[in-house]
Amino acid sequence: MASVPTNLPTGGQPLFELTCSRQFPEWLQEQRMSLAFTTYQAGKLFFVGSQIDTGRLAVFERTFNRCLGLWGDGQTLWMSSLYQMYRFENVLQPGQLASGSDRLYVPQVSYITGDLDIHDVAVDDSGRVVFVNTLFSCLATLSETHSFSSLWKPSFISRLAAEDRCHLNGLALEDGKAKYVTAVSQSDVADGWRDRRHNGGCVIDVESNEIIADGLSMPHSPRVYRDRLWLLNSGTGHFGFIDRDSGTFEQVAFCPGYLRGLAFHGDYAIVGLSKSRENKTFSGLQLDDNLASTDAEASCGLHVIDLRSGDVVHWVRIEGVVTELYDVVALADVNRPQALGFKTDEIRRVLRLEN
């Protein structure tokens, strides 16, 4: 088991400690990948990779206020934050290293959107950024002159209003286009989703505006992978997929936590787990009973699930100030990524010239 403690305060307890299954660093190397994930609760963008020379786990973080949605293709990252959407670009050439890292993501562009409570973010086949505008219950894209440009809304939402009516949160692309979204409810009143947390969740086909699955509990992170529509039924703690013929949710694995953030690589799914909040939003769900029946407590971290068996083959556990995650991205062919932020003056000194 690898452990990465940081910032020991006076009491001796680490402010942040990451532990992982014994062979997780080797698995990252075998898969030739690293992971990036966000926590809006602690305002951090994390990278987990492996040290190129020793093979040991490498953890890197930067601070961004309320960072949520994350999308990446290895060269570019898009990330939402409290009132901005950032685009990061890798400034290293193939084979070039910076402080032992083979990717250095620099924030190149920031769009000021205002506090839209942006959740999932994706880039479609035209290169357009599409994001879930949770506050206004719609899909949107960036605007050069306004806070956002609306693209689509569910048929049960009567008008755009800053009321977070159904808690639209997840977005899945298929063939490079926005195809499916998840919502916690079909409510059309301000904050109405909170009364439907137990079984009001649904999946909507963006093209037809039809509800293809319902009866879910706070679903998140829909993703189309290998011709299946996968998602997290967060209110129960289950990872699985939607049978697109019957609309039923097929459970594949139970993970001990409130699930958000889903990525795929090869035969594996990477799922984000969060601890339960001590408030009405997360309490009283089926997840509580499922944790009790398995004699488990909710944890914060990542689970790696083998799609062939449904087994959790690797895990990452986070203790300390970080208790909730939102999104996770798999970065293929990346060993050890880092990023620049705004808390230090490094960003002043990193210059990249054309040619």
Contact 167, 193 (CB under 8 A): yes
Only one residue has tokens 């660093």, namely: 25
The predicted model gives 213-226 an average pLDDT of 98
Query: What's the predicted TM-score (pTM) here?
Result: 0.94
Range 58-68 average pLDDT: 97
Residue 10: pLDDT band with limits 50, 70, 90 = very low
For β-strands 103-112 and 337-339, DSSP reports them as parallel
For 355, counting Cβ atoms within 10 Å of its Cβ (0-12 exposed, 13-18 middle, 19+ buried), the class is: exposed
User: Taking phi first (over 0 means left), then psi (-120 to 50 degrees means alpha), and beta for anything else, what does residue 28 get?
Assistant: alpha
Under 8 Å between Cβ of 347 and 340: yes
Q: What is the pLDDT of residues 292-311, one digit of tens each?
A: 999 999 999 999 999 999 99
pLDDT at position 8: 41
User: At residue 260, does pLDDT exceed 80?
Assistant: yes
Region 30-46: mean pLDDT is 97
In whole angstroms, give the CA distance from residue 150 to residue 15. 40
Residue 5: which pLDDT band, with cuts at 50, 70 and 90?
Answer: low
- Whether 194 has a pLDDT exceeding 70, the answer reads yes
Please state, rounded to an integer, the average pLDDT across all residues of the chain: 94
CATH class of the domain at 2-344:
mainly beta
Note the pLDDT tens digit of each residue in 39-61: 999 999 999 999 978 889 999 99
